[in-house]
Structure 1
């Protein structure tokens, strides 16, 4: 167990705003996550742990499969402490079994997004040194794994048979009606290096004990930073992962315990879902209800069938719910808490969602390098609007001037920096990036914001998205928030572009709501009394769809490239 470092209470104004019963200096549990989940399984072996498309896995069965898989990894593939194993899996029961199995065997999980290109996957897998990959026989995913074998990046594959994740009737129907969607492994030129997941489970090998030092041994090597260059592998120790689970658990004040049910529509390979949708609930004996991807109809059916009450989400998903005419409060009746993360939550989306559901909508904030959660709004009562809440127990934050690096006062904007037991060791084999990520022992987030007198944290924007207009700082988020209040605007994303007169100028991209019309002049007229002249977009460009990242964040990278190409500028 860890005890947070001592600092004067005056330097932590947020403590006075903590909900009753939650203590900042509570002890943080750093036991390895696989030990915690196996302990939870032993307490309630007959309880439901996983629900996938109506097919369920008990905690007892989950423990047996984790243990058997860990044993097979050790005996068949020689996995030991420090061995990196790549997981390229969507949300299915296979993911938690593989994840905890790798950790129980002593290995390090390297998460791979199945929607990445082969080029992106090749960088992550080759950089990590993982020559064993666990994946699925769905053709669109398996083909990428096979190309990695062809390139020599991956030496061995463990393949999960997708129909095995389904309840019996759906399995039979899928095996007949969707056969063309499955890879034929017996035809693969690499079939000699392919092992079926279920064959490994059937071996029922007992793993040998592995002594883990939670504070030194790496549990997850999570790649991040792909929007600004090649992704870097953040080294998250067992203690980092467990500490953030413990912090979220304490902040939830019982929310993540039975009879709660947590919906996992966000992908487990993303750090937010890995921690909040999987690790925290399962280690507390709470069922996880999985969807392989977001579809509104399927999500509503899931609410009706399971009566789930906790929904970790991202703003685009919440917006889809809020703006759908066919979604009623009755369909969302079981929902008690929705947690928004991954990107800034527009106030317009918050307000629209509140008209659909009385559930608490809590915005949180984190980053991969912090395992990931740093701040969160209260989960049992309403918090200040537009705030990302308060620092979690055991977490210290500060804001520093982005030019001088000196701490700023209450209400003054600066770069948010973090210190706590959830902060990574550094980046894998990248000393310079690791050095650049810290300042005097504090993790630099690259986000700009401030703290108010009550300790609530408000973010303004990313440093790298800051637009310097005639020497003035212009934050895209300010412009985006103003545009989102217009009734015709469904989504917007603002970037900075080179400008001969001002150095840089803001350009706004806008997607209009169905059936709505607006022109550049209309929106600029609307913004005239909401923005100053420096903040006013130089141009407003309308698009049918705005590019997003694979977890639903609006992406500026593609817009910058598109604008540069359109204007014939050098990228």
Structure 2
């Protein structure tokens, strides 16, 4: 490694591969093995591949082919996996939609991507929004999947008996097509020649928490390269033997790669949950005894809080965390339950998403690990991005590698602005240590400017996590008449603990410099989170701005 960049195993060469090969290979090697467990109903890899073929043939009959965008607006269900690969087998491009988005957010993404066909679930909350979008002429066809049909028999009967009001009555007509009719035709799709380097597999929207969402164009080769990189960095992951918990939403890029596509590539059993319900999650973990648990810090904290006395999670042997920093105390709590270290990683939608992971044999607290094989991480001067900084200097994290997107969909100017000398500008501030481990300092957009000094919210948050009572912490900048901006800290407390705002503020005096000390600390019952469970700043910023404007 030179003094300016982390070149981790640059001799590694990813093999450009169509994503559909992953499912075909799983069906060939593990046809009779469990592929999906959904609330107790299981399907084999042979069954999943057959349904994907039938669905692909049905999509082709609707006109899906090269360049056609098809939306997936689904919670985690077997349909998420089947239709994802069916769209790709038909030659189309997957556009991931968050089913909890507002009608306005869905409409904006539909228009931007040119999506005319949407796959969704017959849940009233989702269908009400989709129906209004159909009425506005934004969608030509809606493929509706049955929630009841995905459930085990007893659960299906109970759902119809006690939750019938949650189901939508799907209108008859040419616009709506039920999944069972979609797969009723040909058993195999017409073969499609896929160029993995050029063909866009997924439009993955990003930027929703910091600005106008834009679609990262991820090719087949981008995504399959990222899977190859993760497997090369973690050679102990088994083939045909692992069981992966899928509670993170598959429409999010972390779970899309780190749960679904990785799981397909190794023939694992995907244990899918439609939403985060801690009682259901803990019961499912006890029932299925998973070996892999990808998550975010808030998920591991919630599991620790929900675990009963003496609970043993030692059957879990691989945990990867992303999206936010994991506190040392949180890592140690979970490791006492599972005896499994949490390997932190770093990534973005634009990088398919994983850039770095912690090596299993050498964890450095506070670091998100080393660059994946074939990846180069550079630290550049944010104000002069043509300058690569020396090892140890703080600057903008820039990335090169086979997992880096082709660009933003229909946004050539923003694509050009996001690259420097061929490296992706992430918008994150960090530094590399002498061993090539990456440490994230903060996002450029989250930087708090206090009287001419740069204050990084993450530094304040990490200090707050050292307090024994603090469970979650979010720091933002608020307007200040004297300094322009000042930090404000929001926290939640761990169950069974107590602390006052004054006590936390006093505690921080010994861990932060004078400029970094929050102007105020506010204790809340809960803090806003994204759908994937990552703590979210934008709602808190909006609250504070509303106070100023009032």
TM-score using structure 1 length: 0.93
Matched residue, 1:62? 48
Shift of 1:260: 1.4
Q: Does 1:208 align with 2:193?
A: no
8 Å Cα contact 2:73/2:119 also seen in 1: yes
2:462 to 476, 481, 488: 481
The answer on whether the counterparts of 1:366 and 1:373 sit within 8 Å (CA) in structure 2 is yes
User: CA-to-partner distance for each residue in 1:489-543, whole Å, 9 max, x for gaps?
Assistant: 2211100122221121111112233454433322221111111100000111222
**1:314 corresponds to 2:296:** yes
2:96 corresponds to 1:111: yes
Q: Does 1:26 align with 2:12?
A: yes
In the alignment, which residue of structure 2 is the partner of 1:44?
A: 30
Describe how 1:295-374 pairs up with structure 2 within 5 A: 295-324=277-306, 326=308, 328-330=310-312, 332-374=313-355
1:81-109, CA deviations, whole angstroms, 9 ceiling, x for partnerless residues? Answer: 11000000111111111000000000000
Aligned length: 549
Give the deviation of 1:218 after TM superposition. 0.5
Aligned to 2:372: 392
On the 8 A contact 2:5/2:378 being kept in 1, the answer is: no
- 3-state secondary structure, aligned to 2:365: coil
- Correspondent of 2:117 among 117, 125, 132: 132
Secondary structure of the residue aligned to 2:137 is coil
**Residues 480 and 9 of structure 1: CA distance in aligned 2, closer, same or farther (over 3 Å):** closer
What is the CA-CA distance between 1:311 and the residue it aligns to?
0.3
Q: Could you tell me which of 392, 409, 425 is aligned with 2:406?
A: 425
Deviation at 1:12, TM superposition (A): 5.7
TM-score (normalised: structure 2) = 0.96
Structure 2 residue aligned with 1:453: 434
Q: 2 CA distance for matches of 1:512 and 1:26?
A: 45
Partner of 1:498: 479
Aligned to 2:71: 86
Gaps of 5+ in 2: none
Structure 1, 113-122 or 544-553: larger mean CA deviation: 544-553
Change beyond 3 A, Cα 1:11–1:228: closer
Deviation of the 1:440 alpha carbon: 1.4
Deviations 1:223-277 (A, max 9, x none): 1101222210111111111111111121121415232111111111001100010
Q: Residues 125-524 of structure 1: matches in 2 within 5 Å? A: 125-185=110-170, 188=171, 191-324=173-306, 326=308, 328-330=310-312, 332-378=313-359, 380-405=360-385, 406-524=387-505
SS at match of 1:280: helix
Structure 1 range deviating more: 254-263 or 534-543? 254-263
Match of 1:72 in 2: 58
Query: In 2, are the aligned partners of 1:136 and 1:159 still within 8 Å (CA)?
Result: yes
Please provide the CA RMSD for this pair: 1.7
Partners of 1:323 and 1:352 within 8 A in 2? no
Which moved further from structure 2: 219-228 or 365-374? 219-228
Q: Which 10-residue stretch deviates more, 129-138 or 204-213?
A: 204-213
Q: String of CA shifts for 1:534-571, please: whole Å, max 9, x gaps.
A: 000011122222111111111111111101112336xx
Partners of 2:459 and 2:322 in 1: how far apart?
19
Cα distance in 1, alignment partners of residues 305 and 161 from structure 2 = 37
- Unaligned residue ranges in structure 1 (runs of 5+): 1-7, 16-22
Q: Would you say the 8 A contact 1:13–1:453 is kept in 2?
A: no
Conserved? CA contact 2:4–2:379, under 8 Å: no
Q: Any idea what SS the aligned residue of 2:233 has? A: helix
Give the conservation status (yes or no) of the 8 Å contact 1:256–1:280. Answer: no
Change (3 A) 1:85 1:299: same
- Render the CA deviation track for 1:376-420: whole Å, top value 9, x for unaligned: 012x43411111011001111100122222211111111100001
The 1:293–1:439 alpha-carbon spacing in structure 2 relative to 1, beyond 3 Å, is: same
Q: CA deviation at 1:191?
A: 3.6
